[in-house]
Structures are given as C-alpha cells and as structure tokens.
Amino acid sequence: MRLEARAVPEPGPGEARVRVRACGLCGSDRHLYALGAYGANVVPGHEIAGEVDALGDGVVGWSAGDSVVVEPLQSCGRCEPCRRGLEAICTEGAFFGVHRDGGFAEYLVVPARRLFRVPADLAPPVAALAEPAAVAIHGLRRVGMQSGARVLVLGAGPLGLMSLVAAQRLGAKQVWISARHPAQAQAARDLGAERVLGESEADLAQDAAGERPDIVVETVGGAADTLQVASRAVAPGGGISILGLFLSDLSLPGYPLFAKEVTLAWSNCYSRSHRGQERADFDDAVELVDQERERLGLFTTHTVGLDEVTRAYALTDQRPAGFVKATVCP
C-alpha cells in the first residue's frame, strides 16, 4: 500500500464525482489483498459513502451536496445476467475497489446510476454499511428465506453481524450466531442475537424444541471449514447461503448434503431484481441502515485517515480488544 497524490478525476457523460466521506474496510478486502487480486495501481475500497461533488453531461436528478452511497459495480447492460438485473455476474463486469478505483480516496467517479440517496443526517460511516447490508439481504434472498425461519450465522465479523440484522428485518423467528472474539460476541448480543455460540458449538445450534436452523449463513470464507459446520448444523430441507470469499478449492461433505436435500446458494454481491420486481437490493439496504442507524453504530469502532490504511488492514487481521470494523474517512 502507498499513498499517492493524484489529479481530481473529472466525470464524463452519465457519470458523477463523489466526495468520499467514509469507506469501510471489508473482510473480503483482506482476502483479496492476500490473493493479490487487486488490479495494478487500483485504489481499494468498495463500501463507499459521500456526497455528490460534480456531474457529467446528461446526468439529471442529482445535485452537488446530495448525500449518497455507491453500488460499486460496472456492467455492460447487454448480456443476459444484466437484462435480468443480475449485474454482479455481468460477463464483462468490474468492481470498484477491485478492478476500478475505489473509495480509499478523496474523490471517486462512478456511473450516476450507481448512486443511491441517503438522508443527509445519516453519519457517513453508518451510511457506508449499506454495501454489506445489500450483500446480506441478497444472500438471504438467494437461499429463499421466508418469515419465521430459524437462522444460524457463522462468523460475527461485520458481514456476519449485518446478516444477523438483515435476517431479523426479513422476519426470522430466531437468529443464532457463532463468534470467535469477545467484542464480536458482545456486539451480537447487543444486536439481539437469541444465542451466541463459540465456534466449536456452531453445529449444535437448535432451539428448545430441538429444531435446527432452516438457514445457515456462511460469512467467514478464507481457509475456514465453515461449510463442513454448516452442513452438519442445517435442518433437513434447509439451505446454506455462502457469503464468505474462500481462498482455495473446497471439499464439501457430500452425504449429509444429499441426505438432507440441502440447498447451497452461492451469493455474489447484490442485484436489481427480486421476484420479478425492479427493486435493487441497495434500496432495501439503504432503508435498513437508516432505520437501524442507532444499532449499527456498534459497527464503527475504529476510523482512520488515508495515511493509515495499512494500519486499518492490520487492525482487521489482529482484531484488538473492542475491534469490530475499521472505516477509512478521507
């Protein structure tokens, strides 16, 4: 990582320049950094909140100073996934903060259609949580979550905690979560988890009647064996939503998945189509972070400037006492 002085980018036709006010450091950023998956000289950061600073030709409906979050996707708009609203899996797609310059910068230029309005009084570090909220909402929808479901979340990092909140808002009957670190476990309790489990207990999750979770949400990725745990924990006929980014090939336990007819739902980011409706996951994510702004303040435990991004990655790796999430505020 290095800090550079660059010219302020100019928006082209259909684009907007955003003055970045906060950009969260995602767990997947750690994995992408370890994999060397960032494009050459690309500015990382994809959980972006800020304000409109300038508009390119042809952009309407926005004004300088509008508070926004960014859906960090670039897509062709022509392929079959794009026509279905599944732009995260566009055949020619790119991701801001991975393939294109992202939000660890003072300014960022994105297509104006990727902007979502947020209330002006919503704190930028909380507004930036709209991106992981959209990931969690999309993952739960991918696995077909219904109101009244019992949900187990594996991992109490920021995405796991956000999955807890998203499951609650989508009508979960009970939400359990596994946690490794004390600060994460306490945050999960503060967010209303019915039960917080140690990692070694996760596959034993059940309610008072002995019922196992209908849905297991995997949020750890990396080199974890969480899919083995999920396959043991999930109820017969249940589903596993896979949100974590794994660093290597996986071995799945074939017989338990077969015997219980488990649905595996891999989830990549977010979409703009849900059950045939033209509504973006980001719309629901913005609504979630706005309405849950007080509770979600628990997430923003550490903020750093652009000159401390390397330290933010170190915090994410080391997880010192009280750490939940690092946010870069340029």
Please check the confidence at residue 60 and state whether its pLDDT lies above 90. yes
Q: Could you tell me if 145 and 259 lie in one domain?
A: yes
Residue 36 lies in a domain: yes
pLDDT of res. 275:
54
Q: Could you tell me if 152 and 224 lie in one domain?
A: yes
Q: Could you tell me if 122 and 141 lie in one domain?
A: no
- Non-local (6+) Cβ contacts of 184 within 8 A are 156, 157, 160, 161, 324
Residue 59 lies in a domain: yes
Q: Could you tell me if 116 and 237 lie in one domain?
A: no
**Number of domains present in the structure of the chain:** 2
Residue 47 lies in a domain: yes
pLDDT of res. 181:
85
Between 91 and 247, where is the model more confident?
91
Top-confidence range, 68-77, 207-216, 247-256: 68-77
Q: How confident is the model at residue 248 (pLDDT cuts 50, 70, 90)?
A: confident
pLDDT of res. 37:
73
Between 45 and 209, where is the model more confident?
45
Q: Could you tell me if 144 and 258 lie in one domain?
A: yes
Q: Could you tell me if 159 and 186 lie in one domain?
A: yes
Residue 171 lies in a domain: yes
Q: Which of 244, 266, 288 lies at the terminal end of a domain, its last residue? A: 266
Q: Answer whether 150's CB lies under 8 Å from 211's CB.
A: yes
Q: Could you tell me if 21 and 103 lie in one domain?
A: yes
Q: How confident is the model at residue 89 (pLDDT cuts 50, 70, 90)?
A: very high
Residue 197 lies in a domain: yes
pLDDT of res. 33:
78
pLDDT of res. 36:
76
Question: Which range of residues forms the domain containing residue 164?
Answer: 137-266
Distance of CA 81 to the CA centre of its chain: 20
Tens-place pLDDT, residues 272-328: 875 555 689 999 999 999 999 999 988 888 999 999 998 998 888 777 788 889 999
Q: Could you tell me if 155 and 234 lie in one domain?
A: yes
pLDDT of res. 277:
55
In whole angstroms, what is the distance from residue 92 CA to residue 325 CA?
31
In whole angstroms, what is the distance from residue 118 CA to residue 124 CA?
10
Whichever domain contains 53, its CATH number is 3.90.180.10
Q: Could you tell me if 257 and 312 lie in one domain?
A: no
Q: Could you tell me if 143 and 123 lie in one domain?
A: no
pLDDT of res. 278:
66
Q: Could you tell me if 211 and 239 lie in one domain?
A: yes
Residue 22 lies in a domain: yes
Q: Could you tell me if 147 and 229 lie in one domain?
A: yes
Residue 151 lies in a domain: yes
Residue 287 lies in a domain: no
Beta-bridged to residue 154, according to DSSP, are 178, 218
Instruction: Give me the percent of the chain exceeding a pLDDT of 90.
Output: 73
Q: Which two tokens stand for residue 51?
A: 């304000």
pLDDT of res. 204:
76
Between 117 and 184, where is the model more confident?
117
Whichever domain contains 188, its CATH number is 3.40.50.720
Q: What's this model's pTM, rounded to 2 decimal places?
A: 0.94
Tens-place pLDDT, residues 121-167: 999 999 999 999 999 999 999 999 999 999 999 999 999 999 999 99
- Non-local (6+) Cβ contacts of 21 within 8 A are 49, 50, 51, 124, 127, 329, 330
